[in-house]
Structure 1
Amino acid sequence: MNWVQRKIYLYNVTFGLYMLDWWERYLFSILFSSLYPSMLHSFSPSILVYLCSNFDLPFH
């Protein structure tokens, strides 16, 4: 098993995709890869405000 196959295997096991059909895995991967960056983008300002207020970071 090479490095890429191992990473794919770990991804499937981590998210429970090993029990899905091939098309369900692709659908999940497409949805996850398209929704995760948008969620990260929308939550990043509130995370920055939280970090600045609670940990006294200089990013005001």
Structure 2
Amino acid sequence: MNWVQHKIYLYNVTFGLYMLDWWERCTFNILVFVLMCFVIRYATQFIKR
């Protein structure tokens, strides 16, 4: 198991994604990605002020 596979495994185990179906895991990852985009956008706008 290389470093990237290990990090993906830890992510799945930490958030309990290992027990979800592939489509549920994909939906969760999309929601996390969208949330992180909003946070980064807000943080950059906050820093520019």
Q: Report 1 or 2 for greater relative contact order, CA contacts < 8 Å, sequence distance ≥ 6.
A: 2
- Tell me the TM-score normalised to structure 1 length: 0.60
Tell me what 1:20 maps to: 20
Identify the structure with the greater helix proportion: 2
**Runs (4+) off by over 3 Å:** 39-42
Identity across aligned pairs (percent)?
62
Tell me what 2:10 maps to: 10
CA RMSD of aligned residues (A): 1.9
- Gaps of at least 5 residues in structure 2 are none
- Gaps of at least 5 residues in structure 1 are 49-60
**Alignment length, in residue pairs?**
46
Aligned counterparts, 1:1-60, within 5 A: 1-39=1-39, 41-42=41-42, 44=43, 45=46
- Tell me the TM-score normalised to structure 2 length: 0.71
